[in-house]
Amino acid sequence: SLEDKNALHLYSVNGKYLGSETLKEEVSDLCVTGEYIVMGSLQGFLSIRDLYSLSLSISPLAMRLPIHCISVTKEYSHILVGLEDGKLIIVGVGKPAEV
């Protein structure tokens, strides 16, 4: 964060700069799973971004409270979101019929 500007930067394993994306929210936790980055913000948004392009895969989901931690299940079927008030929100991943 520099002067209220937040950004996500992508580098290769060899340290080559691949790109960046400016963020509107302040990231509190993130998790890299497969080809996606799952991010939670202090503004209460859950975002899923493509790992290579850094573009949003879906519209951010509003949790209404600051997100403190993010975890993805081993089967990539659910996202576990810990909120500031101690609640655990479980978000199903996939098409509605699969969830």
Query: Is-contact 32 13, C-beta < 8 A?
Result: no
Q: Where are the beta strands (DSSP E) in 42-87?
A: 45-50, 61-62, 67-72, 78-83
Torsions phi, psi of 66, nearest 5? -55, 140
Q: Is residue 99 part of a domain?
A: no
- Burial pattern 21-38, b for ≥16 Cβ within 10 A else e, equals eebebebbbeeebeebbb
Read off the pTM: 0.85
Q: How confident is the model at residue 3 (pLDDT cuts 50, 70, 90)?
A: low
Q: Is residue 98 part of a domain?
A: no
**Per residue in 44-91, pLDDT tens?**
999 999 999 999 999 999 999 999 999 999 998 999 999 999 999 999
Q: Look at the chain and report how many structural domains it folds into.
A: 1
Q: Is residue 6 part of a domain?
A: yes
Q: Name the residue range of residue 55's domain.
A: 2-92
Query: Is-contact 88 80, C-beta < 8 A?
Result: yes
Query: Is-contact 46 61, C-beta < 8 A?
Result: yes
CATH code, domain with 41? 2.40.128.630
Beta-bridged to residue 64, according to DSSP, are: none
